[in-house]
Structure 1
Amino acid sequence: MTSTMKPSYAIGVDVGATKIAAAWVELSTGQLGPVLRIPTRRDAPGEEIVADIISLALAIELPDNPDSALLLGVGVAVPELVDLHGTIRSQWNFPLPHLLDRLEAALSVPARAESDVRVAALAEARFGAGRDCDNFVYFSLGSGMSYTLCLNGKPYSGSHGFAIHFASSELAVPAQDRSALVAAIPEDYASGLGMVRLWQERGGFPLAQGIHTLEALAAQGNACAQNVIADAAGMGGRLIAQIVNMLDPEKIILGGGLGCSTGTYRTGLETEIRAHIWEQSCTNIPLVMAGLDENAGVIGAALAAAPPG
């Protein structure tokens, strides 16, 4: 008599700067259930954002007969620093007070938080564009910018869990007349939010759909839009090339709204990356979009909620 193992599921919740997405995920295959999405009320009190996350997670229904499925936990991907113990250690975007305790009480299963870029890299390593290589670097390019190195299918967390930065630190270069140093944070110019701010600072009108409108204007020949995108791609591309120069990875995987875009920004970004890789033989490094697209965060959050072993 052959016994059939029950499928194992976890709920993945991806909390972003603009939206929150959630779904069930079958852990052995990465199969994704219907994805529910709501806007992130990033200006609301943290307690209300937590309430939104819980309501969305409670709305997820496991497939077919729930009695035949095993729900192992709920994972939450957040755009914050998360330490090795799963504790959220920053509030750059918004506070999430008592998130895990409240999730566990509401769903009666273990809850775990993890940095969004790390779970997306985990999902790509397990089921996406990183399945066929020993090491790769995953870059999340969207409202913000972050990265994760993956070695043998496992995201590298660092000694404390904070190895996700590549564009958040202040850099300084000499002014044109060499009289002083000029400091800037690359993310303030090269991210999606940074590009919108840069457009407005250069006299641009409000963008109805953010970067989508900026890309459309650039395609129509708007010189200011083209320059903003070129500057952002130039800054981001140089930084990514520097990571390649430092780590010598097998592959680059780009995720996030900007990373998975196909317009002027993406073309400029790839040109800048390849132009600033030092070793000529490495300039043809595979540069691919995330295989799981915007679902990587949800799938990875679920995987992080129920790690193997």
Structure 2
Amino acid sequence: MSLNILGYDVGGTKISTVVGNDSGEILSNVRMPTVKHLGKKRLIEEMITMGDAALKKAHVEKPDLIGIIFAGPVDRNRGVVIASPNIFGLSNFNIVEPIRDYYRTDTFLENDAQAAAIAERLFGSGRNVDNFVYMTLSTGIGGGIFINGKLYRGAHGMAGEIGHNVIMVNGPTCGCGRRGCLEALAGGKAIARRVIENLRAVRDSDFFSKLRPNEITAEKVFEGKKQGDMFSQLILEETIYYLAVGLVNIINTLDPELVIIGGGISKAGKDLFDPLNDAVKEEFKSMYRPFKIVPGLENGSDLAAISVPLYTEMELHGEGEKQY
């Protein structure tokens, strides 16, 4: 008999709620834009309303397990959001307790990037790979690491913050406060910022001169390259170089079999992965070793939310991983 799982993804641009099962099938989903001033009480009210709606759509009366993934640092053992970069007023907030009490169901919390790595382990390219790194390449850059078949969380549960490795000393200031982080150079927000900062190039570009500053995104840069815009080409070449430097640092440190890249920017497909593979090979210099860089799951964010309780239950009960 399959398990029905209610999953929440509380992210920077949207809050999504899904109902899925332990075979990785998504039965329903409900989404709403993230509101920065939502607050604790309203957030829980919205989550419960969305959860009830998703369960009704899936014809599920009560979930067997619940997963919550959050875009920001969390204390998974206490069910607490440590800091909230996207929704104000949620720092040191126990997000698990009210959801668990309402549904009377075991509820588990995880950082969104680590949850995506778990989804890859259970349902994606990491299924039969014991040592891999997952990178989410979106507005920011995060990650999750599997070592010898187990998610590596570190001493404080905060391992995998690969976006905050400095790759340019005295580079642009990152949201974390340091300068020259990978995220501050190659995250989606950083790509858009680098375009906007080059005002002369923007004015001279047929593609970008038609866009308002708030319309410039990383996705638009890839679109500009496809249309032959040379400025887009230069911005992407820089971005690929920064990503290659960051990835080679990670690969040299951890020696994974595989690097999986997900997140919105990964949807650029061959326009991202072909030059990135070439750049990484070049950046290895004499330290080259076999490696693969592959795209993440198409529906990774939905599967991440339902994967967290499945994987946590295995950890709690000391069970070997099932092959989903």
Residues 1:54 and 1:234: Cα distance change in structure 2 (over 3 Å): farther
CA–CA separation in structure 2 for the residues paired with 1:155 and 1:124? 11
User: What 5-or-longer segments of structure 1 have no aligned partner?
Assistant: 1-5, 176-181
CA–CA separation in structure 1 for the residues paired with 2:191 and 2:58? 44
Task: Find the counterpart in structure 1 of residue 321 from structure 2.
Answer: none
The answer to whether the 8 Å contact 2:81/2:94 transfers is no
The answer to whether the 8 Å contact 1:241/1:276 transfers is yes
Measure how far apart 1:82 and its partner are: 1.9
Q: List aligned pairs for 1:65-214, cutoff 5 A.
A: 66=60, 71-85=63-77, 86-94=79-87, 95-96=89-90, 97-170=93-166, 173=169, 183-203=179-199, 204=202, 205-206=212-213, 208=215, 210-214=217-221
Matched, 1:32 2:39: no
CA–CA separation in structure 1 for the residues paired with 2:40 and 2:198? 33
Task: Find the counterpart in structure 2 of residue 57 from structure 1.
Answer: 51
Letter in 2 for 1:33: L
Residues 1:260 and 1:212: Cα distance change in structure 2 (over 3 Å): closer
Measure how far apart 1:297 and its partner are: 2.8
SS at match of 2:114: helix
CA–CA separation in structure 1 for the residues paired with 2:40 and 2:292? 40
Could you tell which deviates more after superposition, 111-120 or 256-265?
256-265
- Identity percentage over the alignment? 24
CA–CA separation in structure 2 for the residues paired with 1:188 and 1:15? 22
The answer to whether the 8 Å contact 1:10/1:71 transfers is yes
TM-score, normalised to structure 2's length? Answer: 0.80
Deviations 1:236-257 (A, max 9, x none): 2210111011111111111111
Letter in 2 for 1:288: V
Deviations 1:144-195 (A, max 9, x none): 10111113443211111000211225555389xxxxxx94233122101111
Residues 1:41 and 1:269: Cα distance change in structure 2 (over 3 Å): farther
Task: Find the counterpart in structure 2 of residue 288 from structure 1.
Answer: 294
Letter in 2 for 1:302: I
Q: List aligned pairs for 1:212-251, cutoff 5 A.
A: 212-251=219-258
Matched, 1:20 2:6: no
CA–CA separation in structure 1 for the residues paired with 2:148 and 2:167? 32
Q: Larger helix proportion, structure 1 or 2? A: 2
Letter in 2 for 1:88: V
SS at match of 2:64: strand
SS at match of 2:36: coil
CA–CA separation in structure 2 for the residues paired with 1:261 and 1:107? 39
Aligned length: 292
CA–CA separation in structure 2 for the residues paired with 1:123 and 1:195? 27
The answer to whether the 8 Å contact 1:171/1:183 transfers is no
The answer to whether the 8 Å contact 1:84/1:160 transfers is no
Quote the RMSD (CA, aligned, Å).
2.7
The answer to whether the 8 Å contact 1:73/1:110 transfers is yes
Task: Find the counterpart in structure 2 of residue 41 from structure 1.
Answer: 35
Aligned pair partner of 1:297 in 297, 301, 306: 301
Letter in 1 for 2:85: W
Residues 1:278 and 1:90: Cα distance change in structure 2 (over 3 Å): farther
Could you tell which deviates more after superposition, 128-137 or 213-222?
213-222
CA–CA separation in structure 1 for the residues paired with 2:136 and 2:244? 13
Q: Which structure is higher in RCO with an 8 Å CA cutoff and minimum separation 6?
A: 1
CA–CA separation in structure 1 for the residues paired with 2:257 and 2:82? 31
